[in-house]
């Protein structure tokens, strides 16, 4: 069923109506929240769209897995490690992470860092 989740956030915290925000502060994660914007609850058949926000000093896990990632930065600035290289990213930058590529997002800055990440639905 098609639907719209209206943006309810502000300049420092991105939220949407009827979308749950989950704190992910374990298993190599620090200061990370995840919101599934489009996914199983919307009966999306092929992709999952997620919003991650990383607080200052926080980071995602350093990991690799079979699914690719398509990312667009919406809030602040951060760093992304792809393989052995570390890149600075900021609002409107886009990132493609190939399947099985080692990667991590981190926020060494003083403001929140947020991005949309789209992945294929696991079958």
In a domain, 8, yes or no: no
In a domain, 56, yes or no: yes
What mean pLDDT is predicted for residues 69-88?
98
- Residues known to be catalytic: 117
pLDDT per position as a tens digit, 25-63: 787 899 999 999 999 999 999 999 999 999 999 999 999
In a domain, 58, yes or no: yes
Q: Is the per-residue pLDDT at 1 higher than 80?
A: no
In a domain, 6, yes or no: no
In a domain, 51, yes or no: yes
- Note whether 12 and 53 are within 8 A (CB): no
Distance CA 110, CA 5 (A): 29
pLDDT per position as a tens digit, 14-24: 999 999 999 99
In a domain, 41, yes or no: yes
105: phi then psi, degrees, rounded to nearest 5: -110, 140
Domain containing 44: what range? 21-120
Pair of tokens at residue 27: 């298993």
- Note whether 78 and 109 are within 8 A (CB): yes
In a domain, 80, yes or no: yes
CATH code (residue 64): 2.60.120.10
Instruction: For residue 123, name the pLDDT band (cuts at 50, 70, 90).
Output: low
Residue 36 parent element (H or E): strand 30-38
Distance CA 23, CA 36 (A): 12
Whole-structure pTM value: 0.94
Q: Is the per-residue pLDDT at 122 higher than 80?
A: no
In a domain, 13, yes or no: no
Torsion sign, CA atoms 70, 60, 51, 100: positive
């Amino acid at each position: 069923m098609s639907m719209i989740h209206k943006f309810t956030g502000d300049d420092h915290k991105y939220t949407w109506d009827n979308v749950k925000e989950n704190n992910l502060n374990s298993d190599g994660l620090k200061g990370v929240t995840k919101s599934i914007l489009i996914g199983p609850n919307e009966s999306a058949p092929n992709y999952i769209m997620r919003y991650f926000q990383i607080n200052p000093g926080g980071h995602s896990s350093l990991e690799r897995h079979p699914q690719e990632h398509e990312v667009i930065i919406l809030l602040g600035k951060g760093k992304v490690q792809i393989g052995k290289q570390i890149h600075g990213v900021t609002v409107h930058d886009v990132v493609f992470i190939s399947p099985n590529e080692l990667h991590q997002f981190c926020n060494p800055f003083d403001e929140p860092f947020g991005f949309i990440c789209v992945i294929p639905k696991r079958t």
